[in-house]
A and B are shown apart, each in its own frame.
Chain A
Amino acid sequence: MVTLDAKIPEGPMADKWDNHKFSVKLVNPANKRKFEVIVVGTGLAGASAAASLAELGYNVKVFTFHDSPRRAHSIAAQGGVNAAKNYRNDGDSVHRLFYDTVKGGDYRSREANVHRLAQVSVNIIDQCVAQGVPFAREYGGLLANRSFGGAQVSRTFYARGQTGQQLLLGAYQALAAQIAAGKVTLYNRSDVLDIVKKDGEACGIVTRDMLTGEVHGHSAHAVVLATGGYGNVYYLSTNAMASNVTAAWRAHRKGALFANPCYTQIHPTCIPAADEFQSKLTLMSESLRNDGRIWVPEANDDARGAAEIPEDERYYYLEEKYPSFGNLVPRDVASRNAKTVVDEGRGVGPLKNGVYLDFAAAISRDGVEAVKERYGNLFDMYERITGEDPYSTPMRIYPATHYTMGGLWVDYNLMTTVPGLYALGEANFSDHGANRLGASALMQGLADGYFVLPYTIGDYLAPKLGNTPVPTDDPVFKESVQAVDDKSRQWTSNKGTHGVEHYHRELGKIVWEHCGMARNEAGLQTALKEIPALREDFRKNVKVLGSPDGINTMLEKVNRVDDFMEFAELKVRDALHRRESCGGHFREESQTPEGEALRDDENFAYVGAWEHKGDGAEPELHKEELNFESVPLTQRSYK
Chain B
Amino acid sequence: MSKMLNLKLKIWRQDGPHTQGAFLDVEANDIPEDASFLEMLDVVNERLIADDVEPVTFGHDCREGICGTCGVMINGQAHGPEKATATCQLHMRKFNDGDEIVIEPWQAEAFPVLKDLMVDRRAFDRIVEAGGYISVPTGTPQDANSILIPKEVADSSMDAAACIGCGACVAACPNSAAQLFTSAKLAHLNVLPQGQSERWKRTEAMVETMEDFFGSCTNHGECHEACPKEISLDFIAFMNRDYVKAKVKNRSLASQQ
Q: Which residues of A contact B (CB under 8 A)?
A: 48, 51-52, 55, 66-71, 73, 75-76, 85, 87, 123, 125-132, 134-143, 159-160, 162, 165-166, 169, 172-174, 176-177, 179-180, 186, 188, 211, 240-242, 274-275, 277-280, 282-283, 350, 380-381, 384-387, 450-451, 454, 499, 501-502, 543, 545-546, 550-551, 553-554
Contact = CB atoms under 8 A, between A and B. Distances in A.
B67 to A, nearest CB: 5
B12 to A, nearest CB: 15
Interface stretch (B95-103, B141-149, B243-251): B141-149
A65 B130 CA distance: 23
B132 A176 contact: yes
A139 B128 contact: no
Contacts, number: 225
6 contacts: A48-B138, A71-B68, A141-B148, A169-B161, A172-B128, A499-B55
Contact of A87 (B45, B124, B145): B145
Given A173-B134, A545-B55, A132 B195 contact: yes
B6 to A, nearest CB: 15
Nearest to A446: B138
B132 to A, nearest CB: 6
Contacts of B130: 180
Contacts of B69: 66-67, 71
A130 B89 contact: no
A269 to B, nearest CB: 14
Contacts of B36: 279, 385
A279 B148 contact: no
A166 B144 contact: no
Given A135-B154, A141-B148, A282-B63, A384 B85 contact: yes
Given A211-B114, A240-B62, A131 B158 contact: no
A174 B108 CA distance: 28
Contact of A137 (B39, B114, B135, B150): B150
Interface string B189-202: 10010110000000
Given A67-B121, A384-B82, A141 B189 contact: no
A498 to B, nearest CB: 8
B161 A127 contact: no
Contacts of A275: 1-2, 32, 34-35
Contacts of A137: 149-151, 153-155
B60 interface: yes
B122 interface: yes
Given A129-B147, A174-B133, 9 more contacts: A48-B138, A69-B125, A129-B194, A162-B66, A162-B162, A277-B35, A277-B42, A499-B49, A546-B54
Given A173-B133, A176-B132, A553 B63 contact: no
B43 interface: yes
Contacts of B89: 381, 384-385
Interface in B153-186: 153-155, 157-158, 161-162, 164-165
A385 B34 CA distance: 8
Q: Which A-B residue pairs are the 7 nearest by beta carbons?
A: A141-B148, A173-B133, A130-B141, A134-B157, A274-B34, A129-B144, A134-B158
A279 B140 contact: no
Given A129-B144, A159-B158, A554-B55, A387 B34 contact: yes
Contacts of A387: 34, 91, 93
A241 B54 contact: no
* Chain B interface size range: 35 or more
A126 B143 contact: yes
B21 interface: no
A142 B129 contact: no
B138 A85 contact: no
A454 B138 contact: yes
Contacts of B161: 134, 159, 165-166, 169
Interface of B: 1-2, 15-16, 32, 34-36, 38-39, 42-43, 45-46, 49-50, 52-55, 57, 59-69, 82, 84-85, 89-91, 93, 114-115, 118, 120-122, 124-125, 128-130, 132-145, 147-151, 153-155, 157-158, 161-162, 164-165, 188-189, 192, 194-195
A384 B125 CA distance: 30
Nearest to B125: A68
A215 to B, nearest CB: 19
A450 B140 CA distance: 11
Contact of A274 (B32, B90, B128): B32
A131 B61 contact: no
B63 A241 contact: yes
Contact of B138 (A73, A127, A143, A553): A127
B190 to A, nearest CB: 10
Contacts of A55: 137-138
Nearest to B82: A384
Nearest to B144: A129
A71 B166 CA distance: 10
A499 B46 contact: yes
A159 B140 CA distance: 22
Given A126-B140, A130-B136, A166-B161, A76 B151 contact: no
Given A73-B62, A240-B61, A545-B52, A131 B93 contact: no
Contact of A166 (B45, B82, B124, B158): B158
Contact of A75 (B66, B149, B158): B66
A176 B129 contact: yes
Contacts of B150: 137, 139, 141
Given A75-B66, A240-B61, A132 B189 contact: yes
B57 A553 contact: yes
Nearest to B119: A67
Contacts of A73: 61-62, 67
Given A73-B61, A76-B66, A126-B143, A501 B194 contact: no
Contacts of A138: 151
A241 B54 CA distance: 19
Given A126-B141, A139-B151, A274-B2, A501 B46 contact: yes
B70 to A, nearest CB: 10
Contacts of B145: 85, 87, 142-143
Contacts of B125: 68-70, 176, 179, 186
Contacts of B46: 499, 501-502
A550 B16 contact: yes
A278 B39 contact: yes
A493 B81 CA distance: 40
A158 to B, nearest CB: 10
Contacts of A160: 158, 162
A186 B151 CA distance: 36
B39 A279 contact: yes
A71 B67 contact: yes
A379 to B, nearest CB: 13
Given A166-B161, A240-B62, A275-B35, A174 B138 contact: yes
Given A71-B69, A381-B89, A141 B151 contact: yes
Contacts of A131: 133-134, 136, 194
Contacts of A172: 128
A549 to B, nearest CB: 11
Contacts of B82: 384
Contacts of B164: 165
B124 A385 contact: no
Contact of B42 (A71, A85, A211, A279): A279
Contact of B134 (A67, A130, A186, A450): A130
Contact of B61 (A127, A176, A241): A241
Contacts of A66: 61, 69
B236 to A, nearest CB: 19
Contacts of A71: 61-62, 67-69, 165
Contacts of B32: 274-275, 277
A283 B118 CA distance: 26
